A and B are shown apart, each in its own frame.
Chain A
Amino acid sequence: MKILVCISKTPDTTTKVSFTDNNTKFNSDRVQFIINPYDEWYALVRAIEIKEKSNAHVTIMNVGGADNDVIIRKALAIGGDDAVRIDAEADDAFFVADQIAQFLKTEPYDIVFVGKETIDYNGSQVGGMIAGLLDLSFISLASKLDVDGNTATLERDIPGGKEIVTVQTPFVVSASKGMAEARIPNMRGIMAARTKPVKVLPAFASERLTSIKQYALPKEKAGPKMIPSDNPEELVMLLHNEAKVI
């Protein structure tokens, strides 16, 4: 079985977001970058667990520049066997999905993993777009995945509960919380990752369908209205009369 795990590079969760060039560019100065948590904690770790049980081969996929090799090596240290980086700027979901879809046309995989969404652009788009471009089944927001031969059983988040579904390989799955437990790479993994192959491919011809024109930071709040702890009635009245939310 061949598994492709798509990873994205995102700012660390503690990042204080700011912008430059008249709020048109993300300010990456002194920002620590990580593997998008959903990609690393859930998609990648679940792929590795499957490999440990069933001899699968796990390839890490990233669309991005050479500075992404740091996160690719980390994914290999956690347990990926090899990696493919498509050398292009990842600035539009369709463009990224199309790169991966065109790669998959040259080299098919049985399971394509993506994370539920990235914590920077929160699109939840790339996985579904890969599926749409290749006419593959897409299971979104899966919190559990088991494979048995060509059949996979998944749990998918739905409003107020879960849906248990089955599907045949090949398919695309987006991983949400619960699918696996995050792993920290050990020394052996880190050493091994240094010599694992990372193939760099030139970008495929494609197009970008969206771009970001302007960023904005949320308005600073004026500061809360403080209510004495022995007067909860005042809070109730404020919520009713002033905020009008109850």
Chain B
Amino acid sequence: MSVLVFVEASEGKFKKPAFEAVTYGAKIAAMLGVETHALCIDEADEAELRSLGDYGANKLWFVKNELFKNFDPLVFSKVIIQAEAQTNSDVLVLIQSYNGKAIAPVLAAKLRAGLVSGALDLPRIENNSFLVKKNVFSGKASATYEMHSAKKIISLMPNSIIPEKTVNNVELVELKPEIADTDFKIKIKEVVKASGTTTLSDAEIVISGGRGLKGPENWAMLEEMANILGGATACSRPVADIHWRPHTEHVGQTGIAIRPNLYIAIGISGAIQHLAGVNGSKVMVVINKDPEAPFFKAADYGIVGDALEVVPKLNEAFRKFKLGN
């Protein structure tokens, strides 16, 4: 028996969610008294692969095959199942990323394994029960799921646990799946990357604007704040609907759900549907000219004032702070 963690690399590098997932898998393995295996299908060099050992992986299975530049959840599941069989794993950990969301349910169906997607915390393992917590109702509540199947799959919500380094000597093993070009039924024709530096779902700091900003011309100061702090910009739904900002920035119950360390909401009223997608943020700052704006109830810090006056001053203060640090 063991725990198998499926990690993704982006352009040859692992990002924080990969280290979180390995830490998470290693902790479950420790609870069960078993080994931790990690599997990486993406391209990454040896040093990069070894870095996963620092977070507790005993064995790292890697695949060297150009074909996997394509993405097809059926094929990826096949490879994971091969690793699962070789490692005799009962618990599989994935990341709740775009690709993770595509692979995990396909894998779960093939293994007839229970799946908790977007786990927030380590499982509680009591006698024969395996309990995992996740958010439900788009962040309005959380629920503890009991998993009844022999095989269990957990996809971990990024930014939910802190990656922890341990001393460990990871063993690298190449996995050679029997996959042919024709197995990929989904063909990638083109990849379009937005120009922004930090993507919204990965960003640790998010600067978000609402209808209170009056018009798209006032976003320059939000972008400036995002630049100073190394964050990404976001917006409320009406702002995307009236095309002040692209739809990819719309956060909330019907947009992207995010959980940054810091969320700064500027000129956003704090409607229940908006809060649903952002209340997983660790710290929330609200800037609104209306002291009665509902968002203040959910905030950690608040400033009552006109955004057009407050934000430039705040940018100045952030800039000074960054220069001094």
Binding site for B on A (CB under 8 A): 11, 13-17, 19, 37-38, 93-94, 97, 101, 119-133, 135, 137-141, 153, 157-168, 171, 177-178, 207-218, 221, 223-230, 232-233, 235-236, 238-240, 243, 245-246
With A124-B105, A128-B104 in contact, do A165 and B262 touch (Cβ < 8 Å)? no
C-alpha spacing A15/B112, complex, angstroms? 33
C-alpha spacing A61/B318, complex, angstroms? 52
C-alpha spacing A16/B321, complex, angstroms? 40
Q: Which residues of A contact B145 (CB under 8 A)?
A: 210-213
* CB within 8 Å of A: which B105-162 residues: 105-110, 112-118, 131, 134-149
Q: Which residues of B contact A14 (CB under 8 A)?
A: 272-273
C-alpha spacing A141/B96, complex, angstroms? 13
Nearest CB of B to A223, in Å: 7
Question: Which chain A residue has the least Cβ–Cβ distance from B279?
Answer: A218
C-alpha spacing A238/B254, complex, angstroms? 32
Question: Which chain B residue has the least Cβ–Cβ distance from A167?
Answer: B186
Q: Does B243 contact A (CB under 8 A)?
A: no
Cβ contact within 8 Å between A132 and B199 = no
Q: Does B201 contact A (CB under 8 A)?
A: yes
With A94-B108, A132-B105, A226-B304 in contact, do A209 and B299 touch (Cβ < 8 Å)? no
Contact of A167 among B148, B185, B255, B303 (CB under 8 A): B185
Q: Does B194 contact A (CB under 8 A)?
A: yes
Nearest 4 interchain pairs by C-beta? A128-B105, A132-B109, A229-B305, A209-B114
Cβ contact within 8 Å between B138 and A119 = yes
C-alpha spacing A142/B310, complex, angstroms? 39
Cβ contact within 8 Å between B107 and A132 = yes
Q: Does B191 contact A (CB under 8 A)?
A: yes
Cβ contact within 8 Å between A132 and B301 = no
What would be 18 A-B contacts, judged by CB atoms less than 8 Å apart? A93-B115, A97-B109, A125-B108, A125-B115, A128-B73, A129-B108, A135-B74, A158-B191, A160-B199, A164-B188, A209-B112, A209-B113, A210-B145, A218-B139, A227-B303, A232-B310, A235-B303, A239-B301
* CB within 8 Å of A: which B60-89 residues: 71-74, 77
B265-285 interface bits toward A, Cβ cutoff 8 Å, 1 = contact, 0 = none: 000000011001001001101
Cβ contact within 8 Å between B144 and A212 = yes
C-alpha spacing A130/B102, complex, angstroms? 12
Q: Does B165 contact A (CB under 8 A)?
A: no
Q: Which residues of A contact B262 (CB under 8 A)?
A: 239, 243, 245-246
C-alpha spacing A202/B104, complex, angstroms? 28
Q: Which residues of A contact B107 (CB under 8 A)?
A: 132
Cβ contact within 8 Å between A161 and B192 = yes
Binding site for A on B (CB under 8 A): 10, 71-74, 77, 97-99, 101-110, 112-118, 131, 134-149, 185-194, 196, 199, 201-202, 204-205, 229, 247, 250, 253-255, 257, 261-262, 272-273, 276, 279, 282-283, 285-286, 296-305, 309-310, 313-314, 316-318, 320-321
Nearest CB of A to B100, in Å: 10
Cβ contact within 8 Å between B142 and A216 = yes
Cβ contact within 8 Å between A132 and B77 = yes
Cβ contact within 8 Å between A122 and B189 = no
Q: Which residues of A contact B187 (CB under 8 A)?
A: 165-167
Cβ contact within 8 Å between B137 and A119 = yes
Cβ contact within 8 Å between B247 and A131 = no
With A125-B108, A226-B302 in contact, do A236 and B321 touch (Cβ < 8 Å)? yes
C-alpha spacing A164/B192, complex, angstroms? 8
Q: Which of B10, B186, B229 has the most chain A CB atoms closer than 10 A to its own CB?
A: B186
- Given contacts A128-B103, A210-B115, A224-B301, could you give 17 more A-B pairs where the C-beta distance is less than 8 Å? A97-B109, A122-B118, A124-B101, A125-B115, A126-B105, A132-B107, A133-B109, A140-B98, A160-B193, A161-B194, A166-B189, A212-B143, A221-B298, A221-B300, A225-B301, A232-B317, A239-B285
Cβ contact within 8 Å between A163 and B117 = no
Cβ contact within 8 Å between A163 and B190 = yes
Nearest CB of A to B28, in Å: 17
Cβ contact within 8 Å between B302 and A227 = yes
Q: Which residues of B contact A138 (CB under 8 A)?
A: 73-74, 102, 105-106
